[in-house]
Amino acid sequence: MKKQLLLFLRTLNARAYVRIFGQMREATWVVASVLGGFFTMATYIYLYRTLGTGSEFSGLVVLGGFMTPFFLNVLWGVATQLYWEKEMGNLELMLVSPAPLSAFLVGLSVGGAMHTMLRSLSVLFFGIAVFKVKFTVLHLPLALLVFLVTLFSMYGLGIVFSSLFLYHGRDAWRTADLVMEPTSVLSGTYFPARFLGLGLLGIAALIPTTLGLDALRQLLVPSFTVRVLDWRWELLILIGLGLVFAFIASWALRSVEYKARRDARLTLRWQ
C-alpha cells in the first residue's frame, strides 16, 4: 500500500514538474495567453459599456477572465491530453510503465493549475489596473476556499473527459473544439449565469465554473445581486460535484483503458 502510494506521488510530482516548468520555457506562450485573455475581457467590458449596464459588470467580466485560463487548461491541457500523448507515441510508454494513469492525470491537473495561476493572476492584474475594477477583500479567505473547491471540481471533470480521449481520436478532439465556446458562454463567464433561465441553468450547473464563478462574484463583487443560489449552497454543490467527478473519473479511466486495450486503440494514431 505504502509502495503504491509512493509511486502515485512520485508520478504525480514528475508529471506536474513537466507541466509547470515546461510551460515556463517559452516566454511567448505566457505573454500570448495573457494577452488573449486580456483582449477577450476587454471585448466584453466595452460591450457592457456600449449596452449601458452598471459598472459592476466590469468586475464580473474580470473575474470571468480570471477563470477562463483554468477552463481552457482543463479542456485542452487535461481532457485532451491523452489524445496528444497517443498521437506523439508517449501513451504506450506511459501504459507499460508501472505508474498509474490516474497519477499522470492528477499530476497534469496539479501542474496545469499551478502554471495557469500565473496567467490568470496576470489577466486579473491587468483587468484591475486597466479597467479600474474594484473588489471587496472582506471575504478573501472564503473566496479562496470557493476558488480551490471550484478548481478541484473542474479538474475532476477534466479527468472524466480524458478517459474519452483515451479511446477516441480526432472525433473527440473535434467535439472538444465544438463545445469550447458554448460551454464557456453557458458557464456565465462573462455575464451572471442567472440570466440563462432555469432550463439552461440546470445544464450549466453541471459545469463547475458556473457555480464557482457565481459564488466568487457574491464574495468579491459587493454590488452583485443576481446570484443563482447562496454561495454556501454553491460551495456544497461544488464539493459534491468534485467528489462525484473523482469517482466517475476513477471508474471511467479503468473501464475505458480496458476497452481501449481490448480494441487495440491505444497506439492508433492520426485517426
Residue among 9, 24, 88, 93 that touches other proteins (CB under 8 A): 88
- Cβ proximity to other proteins, 3 vs 25, nearer residue: 25
Q: What is the grid cell recorded at 257?
A: 483503458
Shortest distance in whole angstroms from residue 57 CB to other proteins? 8
> What are the helix (H) ranges across 26-169?
27-51, 56-72, 81-88, 91-96, 101-131, 140-167
Pick 44 or 245: Cβ nearer other proteins: 44
Decide: 187 and 215 in contact? Cβ < 8 Å. Answer: no
Q: Least distance (Å) from other proteins to the CB of residue 264?
A: 19
By CB under 8 A, residue 262 contacts other proteins: no
Site string for other proteins, 150-169 (x = CB under 8 A): -------------------x
Q: Of the two residues 51 and 264, which places its CB atom closer to other proteins in the complex?
A: 51
Is 263 among the residues that bind other proteins (CB under 8 A)? no
Binding mask 16-55 for other proteins (x = CB under 8 A): ------x--xx-xx--xx-xx--xx-xx--xxxxxxxx--
* Rounded Cα gap, residues 28 and 66, in angstroms: 19
* Of 6 and 179, CB closest to other proteins: 179
Q: Which of 212, 238, 23 is nearest to 116 (CA)?
A: 23
Amino acid at 165: F
In whole angstroms, what separates CA 255 from the centre of its chain?
A: 24
Residues 156, 246: Cα–Cα separation, whole Å: 5
Residue 193 or 249: the one with the smaller Cβ distance to other proteins is 193
Instruction: Please calculate the CA angle 176-180-184 and round it to the nearest 5 degrees.
Output: 150
Rounded Cα gap, residues 105 and 160, in angstroms: 10
The site for other proteins, by CB under 8 A, has a size of 42
Please report how close the Cβ of residue 211 comes to other proteins at its closest, in angstroms: 18
Binding mask 176-215 for other proteins (x = CB under 8 A): -xxxxxx--xx---xx---xx-------------------
Please report how close the Cβ of residue 117 comes to other proteins at its closest, in angstroms.
Answer: 16
Smallest distance, other proteins to C-beta of residue 191, A: 6
Per CB under 8 A, 71 contacts other proteins: no
What's the CA angle centered on 20, arms 15 and 24, to 5 degrees?
140
- Cβ closest to other proteins, residue 144 vs residue 178: 178
Q: Number of H helices and number of E strands within the chain?
A: 11, 0
Phi, psi of 61 (to 5 degrees): -65, -40
CA of residue 161 relative to chain centroid, distance: 12
d(CA 244, CA 271): 31
The identity of residue 233, as a single letter, is W
Residues that bind other proteins (CB under 8 A): 22, 25-26, 28-29, 32-33, 35-36, 39-40, 42-43, 46-53, 87-88, 90, 169-171, 174, 177-182, 185-186, 190-191, 195-196, 270-271
